[in-house]
Amino acid sequence: MGKFVFAIASLWATAAIAHEMPSGFHYDRYCCNGDGRTGDCQMISNQTVSLIHEGYRVVLSPGDHRLVTRPHIFVVPPSRAMRSPDGSYHLCLFPNEDTVRCFYAPPLGF
C-alpha cells in the first residue's frame, strides 16, 4: 500500500510542475498546461510587443506562437503582466488561442 501511495504522490508532483524555459525559469502552474513542445506558454519575439498607453500591445500572426492559427491583437494591462526573469516576452494562451491567460514581460528598461 505504501508503494502505491508513493507512486500516486510522485505522479501528482510531476504533473504539478510547470515546464521550464531554456533560460531556467518555470512558468507558473496556473499559466502552463503541457510542456515546452505542446504547452500553451511560449516565448514570443520582442518585435510582436509594443508599449502603448493601455499597457502592452501584442500583435501575433500564425507562426509567432504555436497555438496561433490566425492574426490576433491583444492589449494586456500592466497590472496583468508578470515579471519575466530572462528579459524576454512570453505568452500563455488558454483555453484557446483567443484568450491570454498569462503574459510575462521583462522589467521596463531591461
**Domain ranges, ordered by start, for the chain:** 2-105
CA 88 vs CA 2, 31, 69, 82, 102: distances in Å = 44, 16, 22, 11, 14
Q: What cell numbers appear for 12 in the block?
A: 501528482
Question: Residues 85, 78: contact at Cβ < 8 Å?
Answer: no
3-state secondary structure of 5: helix
What's this model's pTM, rounded to 2 decimal places?
A: 0.79
For the segment 18-61, what is each residue's pLDDT rounded down to a tens digit? 567 767 778 999 998 888 788 899 999 999 999 999 999 999 99
